[in-house]
Amino acid sequence: MSESIKYNLDESQIPKFWYNLVADLPTPPPPVLHPGTHQPVGPADLEPLFPMSLIMQEVSTEREVEIPEPVREIYRQWRVTPLYRARRLEKALDTPARIYYKYEGVSPAGSHKPNTAVAQAFYNKQAGVKRIATETGAGQWGSSLAFAGAVFGIEIEVFMVRVSYNQKPYRRAMMETYGARCVPSPSRETLSGRAILDQNPDHPGSLGIAISEAVEVAAQRDDTKYALGSVLNHVLLHQTVIGQESIAQMEVADDYPDIVVGCTGGGSNFAGIAFPFIGAQLRGGKNVRVIAVEPAACPSLTRGRYAYDFGDTAHLTPLTMMHTLGSTFTPPGFHAGGLRYHGMAPLVSHLRQLGLIEARAYHQTKCFEAGVAFARAEGIIPAPEANHAVRGAIDEAIRCREEGVSRSILLNLCGHGHLDMQAYADYAAGRLVDQEYDESELAMALSGLPTV
Ligand SMILES: *Cc1c(COP(=O)(O)O)cnc(C)c1O
C-alpha cells in the first residue's frame, strides 16, 4: 500500500465515457409513467422539457456514453479531482481503518454539480436552446447551472426556494455574478406560484414548488428548456466521472474500498461515486458495501414508501417509482438544504430494493460534529450535506477500531462549506436543534400518493 496522502492522475485520464449502471443491472428499473394516462412515457412526451440528446441518455441502456470533447475541455479545469487518504483523521480517530475521500469541492461552484450542469448546458446549446429554467434549494444547483450557462452562452433563470433566497444571499449573488436571473419561489411569474401565494402570501417555498414553476416556464416557451440537478438517470450518469476516477486513483493507492459512503438528497453525488463500483461488482469484481446517508429530518430512503409519485408539488412532472415521503411533504428546517427533497432517484431507489445498497439517517448535530472533526484533522470544511457522508464514514471507522479490523473506506466529499459558515456558527453556538419531522404530516403526504 502506498504511503502518499494524495493520488493524482493527469488530465489525459479524465474519463472519456460516462458509465450507465442500467446496462449491468439484473433487472431494469420500473418505467416512468405519464401523469395523465399512467402509461409509460416515450421520448416525445419529454420533448417540451429537454433536448432529445438528454432524453436519449435518460432511457439509454448502453454501458458507455461518450463524453463530448467540448465537455471534457471544460472538465479539464478541475478534473481529475483529488483523492486523498485522510491520515490525520485516521490518527485522530485512533482507527485501523484506511479512510479515503474524493474531493469535488475544487470545481468552480464548489461541489459535484458542475459535472452535470456543464453537460446539460452543452446539449441544450447544441439543440439551439436560448434559455434554461431551473429550481434551486440552497443555491448550489442554481450557481452550478449559472456557471455552465455563462460558459456556453445560455440564459439561466433560477427559481430559488424563498427561505433560502432570504437566508443565503451569497449563493444568489454567485448566480447573478455568473449572469443568471434569480427569482424567489413561489413567485407571481407562474400559475403554480400565484396559486400558492394567493393561499399564503408568506409561503416559505419548497423544492417541489420551485420545480413546478421552472417546468411551467419551460413547457410554455419554445426557446426555453428545463434542467434538473439530481434524481434523473442522465444526471446520475454525468456524475459517474467521480467513481470512475476514484477506481483509477484507488489503483494508484494500491487499495480497493471495502465500503463506499455518500450522502443522498436526490441521489446524484452518491450515484456518481458508487455506481462504477457497484457495476464492477455486478460484472464479477470485488464486493463493496455501499452506504447512502440521509438526514433524519427528510428520510426518503429509510422511512419513505417505494411507490409511484410526482417529482413536484403541482403534479406537472411524470410519475416515477421511487422512495418518497409524498410530494406535499415539507421537511422541518435544517442546514443541509441540498438534502431536502421528498423523493429519491429512481435508480438509487431500485438499488435499495435489490439489496445492493444500505441506507441510514442521521440528525444534523451528529453530522456537524463529524464535519468539525474532519475540518480539524484534514483542513477542508465540508458542505453541510457532505457532513452526512463524513458521519457515515467516521462511524464505520470507529467500528473498525472496536472490532480491531482494518477496512478501506471511501467517502465522497461532494462540496465545501465556505458559503455555509452560518450553519457552522450556529452549531458552535449550540443553536442547532435536531428537529423531528411531523409524523402526521408524513402520513398525510403518503396518503395523497397517486394510485397507479
Ligand atoms: C445538491 C447537493 C447535494 C444533494 O444532491 P445529490 O443529488 O443527492 O447529490 C449534496 N451535496 C452537495 C454539496 C450539493 O450541492
User: Per-residue DSSP letters for 328-393?
Assistant: T--PPP-S-GGG--SS--HHHHHHHHTTS-EEEEE-HHHHHHHHHHHHHHHS--B-TTHHHHHHHH
Q: Quote the CA–CA distance of 17 and 68 in Å, as a whole number.
A: 9
Quote the pLDDT of residue 1: 67
CB 420 within 8 A of CB 335: yes
| 141 CA → ligand 1 middle, Å | 8
Average of per-residue pLDDT across 145-173? 95
| 243 CA → ligand 1 middle, Å | 15
Residue 446 has pLDDT above 80, yes or no: yes
Measured in degrees and rounded to the nearest 5, phi and psi for residue 101 equal -135, 135
**Pocket perturbation via mutation, ligand 1, pick of 385, 388, 390 by most ligand atoms within 8 A of CB:** 385
- Strand order, beta sheet including 131-136: 181-185, 155-161, 131-136, 224-226
What are 121-139's pLDDT values in tens digits? 999 999 999 999 999 998 9
Q: Which ligand 1 atom minimizes the distance to the CA of 140? A: 15
Q: Which ligand 1 atom minimizes the distance to the CA of 110? A: 13
Q: Which ligand 1 atom minimizes the distance to the CA of 272? A: 9
Radius of gyration of the chain (CA): 20
Tell me the one-letter amino acid at 252.
V
| 151 CA → ligand 1 middle, Å | 22
| Mean pLDDT, the chain, integer | 96
Q: Which ligand 1 atom minimizes the distance to the CA of 137? A: 1
372 class by beta-carbon count within 10 Å (0-12 exposed, 13-18 middle, 19+ buried): middle
Domains of the chain from N-terminus onward: 5-14+67-110+234-447 (3.40.50.1100)
Helix (H) or strand (E) holding 408: strand 408-413
User: Dmax over Cα atoms in the chain, in whole Å?
Assistant: 63
| 113 CA → ligand 1 middle, Å | 7
- Ligand 1 atom 5: residue of nearest CA: 265
- Ligand 1 atom 15: residue of nearest CA: 140
Nearest to 175, CA basis, from 204, 135, 226? 135
| 339 CA → ligand 1 middle, Å | 7
C-alpha count within 13 angstroms, C-beta hemisphere, residue 424: 18
Instruction: Say what the alpha-carbon torsion angle 162, 166, 168, 174 is, to the nearest 10 degrees.
Output: 80
Residue 26 has pLDDT above 80, yes or no: yes
**Pocket perturbation via mutation, ligand 1, pick of 239, 263, 380 by most ligand atoms within 8 A of CB:** 263
Tell me the one-letter amino acid at 76.
R
Q: What is the band of 335 on the pLDDT scale with cuts at 50, 70, 90?
A: confident
219 class by beta-carbon count within 10 Å (0-12 exposed, 13-18 middle, 19+ buried): middle
Q: What is the band of 337 on the pLDDT scale with cuts at 50, 70, 90?
A: confident
Q: Quote the CA–CA distance of 102 and 109 in Å, as a whole number.
A: 16
CB 24 within 8 A of CB 63: yes
| 405 CA → ligand 1 middle, Å | 31
First-to-final CA distance of the chain: 53
Residue 306 has pLDDT above 70, yes or no: yes
Quote the pLDDT of residue 173: 97
| 199 CA → ligand 1 middle, Å | 31
340: which residues sit within 8 A by CB, 6+ positions away? 137, 206, 207, 265, 295, 298, 331, 334
- Ligand 1 atom 1: residue of nearest CA: 338
Q: What is the band of 84 on the pLDDT scale with cuts at 50, 70, 90?
A: very high
| 111 CA → ligand 1 middle, Å | 8
Q: What is the band of 281 on the pLDDT scale with cuts at 50, 70, 90?
A: very high
**Cα separations in angstroms, 223 against 48, 155, 234, 271, 308:** 10, 10, 21, 31, 31
The reported pTM is 0.97
**Pocket perturbation via mutation, ligand 1, pick of 116, 414, 418, 420 by most ligand atoms within 8 A of CB:** 414
Q: Which ligand 1 atom minimizes the distance to the CA of 267? A: 8
Ligand 1 pocket: which residues have CB below 6 Å?
111, 113, 140-141, 230, 263-270, 338-339, 383, 385-386, 414-415
What are 170-195's pLDDT values in tens digits? 999 999 999 999 999 999 999 999 99
Residue 32 has pLDDT above 70, yes or no: yes
- The SS3 assignment for 301 reads helix
- Ligand 1 atom 7: residue of nearest CA: 268
Peptide bond into 184 cis (omega under 30): no
CB 349 within 8 A of CB 236: no
Average of per-residue pLDDT across 284-311? 97
Share of the chain above pLDDT 90, in %: 91
Residue 2 has pLDDT above 80, yes or no: no
**Pocket perturbation via mutation, ligand 1, pick of 102, 112, 143, 322 by most ligand atoms within 8 A of CB:** 112
Tell me the one-letter amino acid at 222.
D
